[in-house]
Amino acid sequence: MIGAAVLLGLLVATPVVAGQTTQQAVEESLTCQCGCGLTVHSCNHIQCSSGEPMKEEIHRRLAAGEDKETILAHFAERYGEKILSSPTMRGFNWLAWVTPFAVIAIAGLTLVVVVRRRVREHDVAPPTPPPAGDPALRARLERELADLDRDA
């Protein structure tokens, strides 16, 4: 279980899509401003006035030796943070990333504690007596037993 958790943790830390080029990775980290709601990489509007120049600029900057972070910082400075297709991992935005896992972890731990307590309660509890059943039936049973005693 712990091994599986570590593996999954590693997955979170690594990009989901294998074999991406840097150009594609940068394009997918930026949101197209034409209103399509897609990333710069996914927008396929004909001669998109936002996506196409951005793709060219990314290409130019990569060719000039800039890395992904520098290019993203440049675009964020020019257009504001909304151009980044996912929140940064700094300041308030950090909450966006951490909260889902924190909530699931807390809920999971609570679940473990509750289940453990229930299991312990079950293990120490005496065997439950057979159900009492219908009170009328029980009264009849007792009456008949008493009759039997009397007969005996």
Contact residues: another protein, CB under 8 A:
4, 7-9, 11-12, 14-19, 24, 28-29, 31, 36-39, 42-44, 46-47, 80-87, 92-93, 95-97, 99-101, 103-104, 107-108, 111, 115-116, 118-119, 121-122
Give CA–CA dist 46/34, Å, rounded.
Answer: 11
C-alpha neighbours within 13 Å on the C-beta side of residue 22: 14
Minimum distance between the CB of residue 4 and another protein, rounded to whole angstroms?
7
Minimum distance between the CB of residue 84 and another protein, rounded to whole angstroms?
6
Minimum distance between the CB of residue 107 and another protein, rounded to whole angstroms?
6
Contact assessment for residue 62 and residue 26, using Cβ atoms and an 8 Å cutoff: yes
Distance of CA 41 to the CA centre of its chain: 25
Q: What DSSP designation does 87 have?
A: -
CB closer to another protein out of 46 and 148: 46
Write out the two tokens for 44. Answer: 């396929």
CB closer to another protein out of 117 and 140: 117
